[in-house]
Amino acid sequence: MGLNCGIVGLPNVGKSTIFSALTSAPAEAANYPFCTIEPNVGIVNVPDPRLDKIVSLIPPAKVVPAVTEFVDIAGLVAGASKGEGLGNKFLANIREVGVIAHVVRCFDDPDIIHVNNRIDPAGDIETIDIELALADYETVDRRYQKDSKLAKVNHSKDLLAMIPIYERLLKGLGDGQGARTIITDPEERELVRDLHLITMKPVIYVCNIDEASIGTDNEYVKTVREIASERGSSVVVICGKTEAEIASLDTAEERAEFLEAAGLEESGMNVLIREAYATLGLRTFFTAGPDEDRAWTFKAGSKAPQAAGVIHTDFEKGFIKAEVYSCEDLFKYGSEAKVKEAGKLRVEGKEYVVQDGDVMFFRFNV
């Protein structure tokens, strides 16, 4: 799975506006379909209050946050799986991302064209779902036809075992179901991993609301929440227009004042970034010292040598041990010295599974 998040949706739902606010990159946003032709890619800092606390307790010369990647993919339309609206190119871009952020229009505005001339979140979601399912159907069908012929020739047990899985996928995808709901067994998911099915990817629904709906769920948002709940997906509610205004401000103080005036505790973009990061299966460990306090990204479930390898391959090759404590213990006791006095600093070996929020110091020899 790719370690990035693709922003998708119908044309004119606010994808490029949200992308621009996320990255402050000049993604083109205009009031007409298909204004985004090539996918814009942006690297964004992952907002993490824990790093801010670490910096206050262990002041460094340099601070480096964790980052993640967002891709702004042009709007899909009905018929995209058959090439409508440059659909094949866009579907190929979606196939390369790890998580889909599906932006759904949840506001009324007669001045902004809707591709279907109506505001209907459930219908918009269905349109995207069907196109992605049909694209996956073609992928599975090609493999099914190929493997069925090979299985008849060489009687491979592995191929013969795949045939009923393909058939289940074809039936479900043909009915507009996503692969995630058809194939739920982890072992079977591993067997079809190399198909890179779009509808196997986790989805975050991003409700783009108007300013009047900030702080409440309008009827459109409620509809999206119901759909997401049925599918086990998360929902992030964002006012794209407000977020664009926040992103345009020059200083943190100005942004804080704007948020307070708007009745918001934090930017919706921060929530989306953290949700995408977590949904990608990414976690954070920290290194801290006078030279640098840094947040490092690792895959959930990684062991200590793998985490060391995130810093440098030599750290992984020559890994000896890791000195570890939780950032929460640092916040509780106030300094590394007091963490040690409290017996909270541990020495871990190669089998230690790194936890989100660990502060680590690696010992290695190459």
* Domains of the chain from N-terminus onward: 4-279 (3.40.50.300), 301-364 (3.10.20.30)
Quick one: pLDDT at residue 31? Answer: 39
Q: What is the pLDDT of residue 82?
A: 58
Token pair for residue 126?
Answer: 């269905």
pLDDT computed for residue 124 by the predictor = 92
Query: Model-level pTM?
Result: 0.86
Task: Extract the tokens encoding 79.
Answer: 């018929």
CA 165 to chain centre: 27
Q: What pLDDT is stored for residue 116 in this prediction?
A: 62
pLDDT for the residue 48: 95
DSSP for 3-50, written as a single string: SEEEEE-STTSSHHHHHHHHH-------SSTT---SPEEEEEE---HH
Q: Which pLDDT belongs to residue 78? A: 57
In whole angstroms, what is the distance from residue 76 CA to residue 239 CA? 21
Any residues with CB less than 8 A from the CB of 105 and at least 6 apart, and which? 9, 10, 12, 13, 14, 114, 119, 121, 124, 208, 220
pLDDT of residue 273: 94
Cα–Cα distance for residue pair 87/79, rounded to 1 Å: 7
d(CA 291, CA 319): 22
Q: What is the pLDDT of residue 94?
A: 85
SS3 297: strand
Per-residue pLDDT of the chain (366 residues; tens, 9 = 90+): 467 999 998 888 888 889 888 887 443 444 344 444 455 888 899 999 999 999 999 999 999 999 999 988 876 655 544 554 444 566 778 888 999 999 999 998 877 656 666 789 999 999 889 888 998 999 999 999 999 999 888 878 888 889 999 999 999 999 888 999 999 999 999 999 999 999 999 999 999 999 999 888 999 999 999 999 999 999 999 999 999 999 888 888 899 899 888 888 889 999 999 999 999 999 999 999 999 999 999 999 999 999 999 999 999 999 999 999 999 999 999 999 999 999 999 999 999 999 999 999 999 987
Question: What pLDDT score does 122 carry?
Answer: 95
